[in-house]
Structure 1
Amino acid sequence: MDYTSPNAPKVVDVLGTWLLSILDGQRRYAHVAGLRGDEVAPQILGMNKIISDESLRRALAHLAPAPCKYGSEEERAARAI
């Protein structure tokens, strides 16, 4: 992940928020908001803050982009296999 904006979250905050949400058993991005009040866990992981669910969603989309919905019939068939 390479951010150019000065307002972008730090990589440690993205990965730490993702880890905390997994450890908490969350299955939806919206549940990340429940972690935002925790002040101890980010300090333990060396994070600055827990990022928002939208920031996490955008960061993870850059790591593993969704497959294109469009394309030729052959491309769709190959992806289906």
Structure 2
Amino acid sequence: NLAYMFITHDLATVRAIADRVVVMLQGEIVEQGEKDTVFNPPHHEYTELLLSSVPEMDPDWLDKRLKSKVNNPELMRMR
């Protein structure tokens, strides 16, 4: 068994490593519980604000970027 306190604004990391979450605002607990309960959906507006600040990566970003390069006539001439 292991317990630790991880203090951060990085909720993407919290999702990856935590089982339970406590969200604090100005030194007061505003939400706490199992991470799935706290994050899906968040019940406090501050938790929602923190979650909305986590950037989401487009899983197809590399395919889109490669296709745009391959279909570029300027790059095709350079080959």
TM-score in same-fold range (> 0.5): no
Greater RCO, 1 or 2 (C-alpha within 8 Å, sep 6+): 1
Indicate the structure with greater helix content. Answer: 1
Normalization by structure 2: what TM-score? 0.30
Considering only CA atoms, is the larger Rg found in Structure 1 or Structure 2? 2
TM-score normalised by structure 1 residue count: 0.30
